[in-house]
């Protein structure tokens, strides 16, 4: 297995292997879900704060995918 393909986090007791793209995806998904929930709730002030972080996380995820 090449170094690029190895997971960054391994939980042997649970049999879970999480690679770099996986945790980037989870962070982006959590932020996008939170933003959607805030917009659904109508809390636009909190959504204004979360938007830049969400955009950065999504960009970080997709830039990581381009390199592979």
Q: Is residue 5 part of a domain?
A: no
Quote the pTM value: 0.65
Q: How many domains in the chain? A: 1
For the chain, the C-alpha Rg in angstroms (whole number) is 15
In angstroms, the CA 20 to CA 65 distance is 10
Closest CA to 2 of 60, 66, 68: 68
Q: Give a yes or no: residue 13 inside a domain.
A: no
> Phi then psi for 22, rounded to 5 degrees?
-65, -45
Asked if the structure places residue 9 within a domain, the reply is no
Task: Report yes or no on 11 lying in a domain.
Answer: no
Domain of residue 38: give its range. Answer: 20-66
Under the banding of pLDDT at 50, 70 and 90, the label for residue 62 is: confident
Would you say the C-alpha torsion 20, 23, 29, 30 has a positive or negative sign? negative
Return the structure tokens found at 7.
């997971």
Which pLDDT tens digit goes with each residue over 4-47? 555 566 656 666 666 655 788 888 899 999 999 999 999 999 99
- In a domain, residue 45? The reply is yes
Q: Is the pLDDT of residue 49 over 80?
A: yes
In a domain, 6, yes or no: no
């Amino acid at each position: 297995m090449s170094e690029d393909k190895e997971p960054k986090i391994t939980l042997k007791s649970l049999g879970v292997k999480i690679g770099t793209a996986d945790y980037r995806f989870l962070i982006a998904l959590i932020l996008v879900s939170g933003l959607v929930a805030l917009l659904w709730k109508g809390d636009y002030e909190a959504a204004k704060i979360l938007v830049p972080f969400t955009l950065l996380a999504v960009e970080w995820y997709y830039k990581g995918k381009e390199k592979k």
